[in-house]
Structure 1
Amino acid sequence: MNRFVKLTNFELSRFMKLYLVLVALTIIVQMAGVIVTANSYMAEANKMIFEEGLLSQAQFIEQYGPMSFLNVVHSLWFMGPIAFCAAALLFYIFMIWYRDWFGKNTFIYRLLMLPTARLNVYLAKAVSIVLMVLGLVSVQLIILPLENSVLKWLVPIDFRADMTVGQIVNLDNYLSILIPQTFTEFILYYGAGFMAVSVLFTALLIERSFGWKGIVLGIGYTALSVIIMISPLLAIAFMDHYYLYPLETLGMEIGLGLLVTVGSLWMGHYLLTRKITV
């Protein structure tokens, strides 16, 4: 266990500088987005009401709606950094393995020669990805109230519709996935994320184990995993009558998810111990 913790800490430290850049980028761009969006709204209100006198305050609010934090959330200023961080972590899922193979002195062989189970190397890389995702979500939770306060400071109360952080998260589909409101949702969403990481990791190890043939096998393995997970949905689409209730379908999806995750971990362990030699 101690070696696993050290391996996880090592993987986190290797990406920490770029990770802190992602955190800073998210904070700076989103905060700038709050300011720009709020000022743009108030500039339009001042133009229509006070400068041109085309609308009264009540007419402006009725026509354009009050300013709320959802205006910020639905802008590129807010969702752009989140999408960029997601893309960066997705890229890192590949880089976390390939840099060890193609980096100086093929560092992967030094990792695999450590006096610990090779599965720990696999799990340390997977857990580090999950921890980085949770870290970015935690940062988002911390800065949301601050951004909400800045909006209230910039927009007079007569022009805004105040919302709590909980309301903001509940009313946006993407945020409600990133920040689940119940423990069950947290387990389902992030369990699915860990499953996806394990499938991609195993596909990468298949490619490393079998060379050019491994590319086809890795893609095939990923496709098979996706088909297994969406098989209940395919059954709903193609069957005239579907015999399972929604909760039963959910239970089946959970079971299939566990099957795919355990299968990926087992396959990854097998490839690391039997196919990749040092």
Structure 2
Amino acid sequence: MNKILTLYNIEFKRIYKLYFLLIGTLLIANLAGVMKTLYDSVKRISLENNLPMNIDILKTNLGYSFVNEFTKNDIYVYGSMALGVAILFCLLYATIIWYRDYYSKSKTIYTLLSLPQPKFNIYLAKLIMVLVMIYGVIACQFLFWYMDLNIIKIFAGISSPNFANVYSNMMQPVNQINVVSPYLLDFLMIDLFGIILAVVVIFTGVLIERSFKKVGVLLGIGYILITIIGYVFIIGLDSGILGNLLLNHIMYYILLLMVSILISYRLINKRVCV
């Protein structure tokens, strides 16, 4: 375990500047979303009620109702969009994290594969790195949502402490866009195990491409597409029965995880070369 953590630290030191830049960009996107939401709210209230545009309009009864019904939802929409882009960037990095080692001037992959330790530790360290990035981004977005709501709360003169309760607000039926589900089962299946599985599949696709030089690209892309098609097929099975749908998902997740790990383990030990 210590060797894996050592490799993880090496990976983190190579990416931390870019990662903090990503977090900073996510923060700026949230602040921009808050400013746009405030402007749009004031503009809409003013137009609908034939009133002059003034930020203090949010402190009126009209503003209070509008903020609770629409403004709060817009905060989650913009935040979810920013979070979605950030997660996609992390998934893209799941591919880059391998190719960077192959195409860097120092040929880092050669050094890593030559270390006196199991080669699969490299895989595990990179997997942990990407997962930490993704879950770190998600955690930051929850903090930013709390910050966003408190900014709105100040401008609208709202005193209720429940206004900035991120979880209870996400449970409201008006919120249609939730990159992170507030429901435990959905969170576990999509945001926890689903993300882990997505990264594992991407890693497997990259290792397939690296292992078979001539047709590796087609095989790697083909593997990823097959897993996506399989997931869509599972969704279509007994979709009206929650128990069957959940069981199908669990079985597919376990099967795909085992197959991907076994393929990756064999490739990184037997086929992957520099």
Q: Give the TM interval when normalised to the shorter protein.
A: 0.7 to 0.9
How many residue pairs get aligned? The number is: 262
Partner of 1:2: 2
Q: What is the one-letter code of the residue matched to 2:107?
A: T
Matched, 1:74 2:77: yes
SS at match of 2:132: helix
Partner of 2:269: 273
Partner of 1:250: 246
CA distance in 2, matches of 1:145, 1:64: 15
Q: Is the contact made by 1:137 and 1:179 (CA closer than 8 Å) also made in structure 2?
A: no
Residues 42 and 118 (structure 1), Cα distance of their counterparts in 2 relative to 1, 3 Å cut: same
Q: What is the one-letter code of the residue matched to 2:72?
A: F
Residues 92 and 135 (structure 1), Cα distance of their counterparts in 2 relative to 1, 3 Å cut: same
Higher Cα radius of gyration = 1
CA distance in 2, matches of 1:2, 1:60: 56
Partner of 1:97: 98
Matched, 1:125 2:102: no
Residues 173 and 254 (structure 1), Cα distance of their counterparts in 2 relative to 1, 3 Å cut: farther
* Gap runs ≥5 in structure 1: none
Partner of 1:140: 141
Normalized against structure 2, the TM-score is what? 0.83
CA distance in 1, matches of 2:138, 2:183: 13
Partner of 1:27: 27
SS at match of 2:208: helix
RMSD: 2.9
Residues 197 and 156 (structure 1), Cα distance of their counterparts in 2 relative to 1, 3 Å cut: same
Q: Is the contact made by 1:69 and 1:163 (CA closer than 8 Å) also made in structure 2?
A: no
Partner of 2:189: 188
Task: State the shift of 1:212 in Å.
Answer: 2.6
Task: State the shift of 1:80 in Å.
Answer: 4.1
* Gap runs ≥5 in structure 2: 54-59
Task: State the shift of 1:67 in Å.
Answer: 4.6
Partner of 2:227: 225
SS at match of 1:31: helix
Residues 63 and 139 (structure 1), Cα distance of their counterparts in 2 relative to 1, 3 Å cut: closer
From 256, 259, 265, give the equivalent of 1:263: 259
Q: Is the contact made by 2:76 and 2:145 (CA closer than 8 Å) also made in structure 1?
A: no
CA distance in 2, matches of 1:231, 1:32: 39
Normalized against structure 1, the TM-score is what? 0.82
Q: Output one character per residue of 1:27-69: Cα deviation in whole Å (capped at 9) or x when no partner.
A: 12212321332133224434644449xxxx7788889985531
CA distance in 2, matches of 1:63, 1:25: 29
CA distance in 1, matches of 2:165, 2:201: 37
Matched, 1:36 2:39: no
Deviates further, 64-73 or 123-132? 64-73
Residues 103 and 186 (structure 1), Cα distance of their counterparts in 2 relative to 1, 3 Å cut: same
Partner of 1:13: 13
